[in-house]
């Protein structure tokens, strides 16, 4: 049990995800496959811990201390602090939360520092899309085709004013689902491709 908390203590800013399970859980193989995939994608910046609840007296005590009664169960830590918990294995939800809480380790998204950066992104890059977890995944799949930008709005009064101007509310997704977002991007790219083709025809 001491080893478990030592890992959390010395993980610094890395995201640590603890997977609590039982030895005979039917989901173990699928979860392990997902964890290996996300570990590789994060370039060793996300740690995954596996705790078999019924493996020994120590693991039983650890589960009691953490008040974990359902399996599989996932606990997310950053800087040794618990930031998220979820019970059950829903692959899409789990992957979205890994991307969300470990966004700095997976992201190909440009960090915008001022209103000028936002204006330049809108002027120079098409399409521009409002974000989060599914977009982190899209950003890695569409490098070179689509530019995504993010803003920490509470870092400046200018960005807070943008929130008010666009009537943005706090939330994981605003005005879109992952599938609808992806469809809109593809439609834009299709229109842009046709437009570029017409330009080439006129030039010839």
Hey, which residues are catalytic here?
Answer: 125, 128
Q: How far apart are CA 142 and CA 99, in angstroms?
A: 16
Q: CA-CA distance, 161 to 12, in Å (whole number)?
A: 34
CB 98 within 8 A of CB 116: no
Indicate the SS3 state at residue 20.
Answer: strand
Distance CA 107, CA 101 (A): 11
Kindly give, in sequence order, each residue whose CB lies less than 8 Å from that of residue 110, ignoring residues fewer than 6 positions away. 117, 121, 147, 148, 149, 150
Enumerate helices (H) and strands (E) in the chain, giving the number of each. Answer: 9, 6
Phi-psi region of 84 (alpha: psi -120 to 50; beta: other; left: phi over 0): beta
Comparing CA positions, the residue from 89, 168, 183 lying closest to residue 138 is 183
Phi, psi of 132 (to 5 degrees): -170, -125
């Amino acid at each position: 049990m001491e080893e478990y908390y030592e890992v959390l203590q010395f993980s610094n800013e890395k995201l640590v995800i603890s997977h609590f399970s039982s030895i005979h859980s039917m989901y173990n193989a699928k979860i392990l496959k997902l964890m290996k995939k996300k570990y590789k994608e994060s370039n060793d910046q996300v740690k995954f811990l596996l705790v078999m609840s019924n493996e020994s007296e120590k693991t039983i005590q650890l589960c009691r201390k953490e008040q974990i009664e359902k399996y599989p169960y996932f606990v997310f830590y950053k800087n040794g602090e618990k930031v998220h918990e979820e019970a059950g294995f829903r692959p899409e939800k789990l992957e979205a939360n890994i991307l969300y809480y470990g966004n700095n380790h997976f992201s190909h998204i440009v960090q915008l520092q001022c209103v000028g950066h936002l204006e330049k992104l809108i002027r120079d890059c098409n399409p521009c899309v409002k974000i989060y977890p599914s977009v982190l995944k899209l950003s890695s799949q569409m490098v070179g085709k689509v530019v995504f930008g993010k803003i920490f709005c509470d870092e400046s009064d200018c960005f807070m004013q943008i929130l008010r101007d666009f009537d943005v509310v706090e939330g994981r997704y605003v005005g879109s689902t992952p599938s609808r977002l992806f469809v809109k991007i593809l439609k834009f790219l299709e229109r842009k491709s046709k437009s570029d083709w017409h330009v080439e025809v006129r030039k010839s």
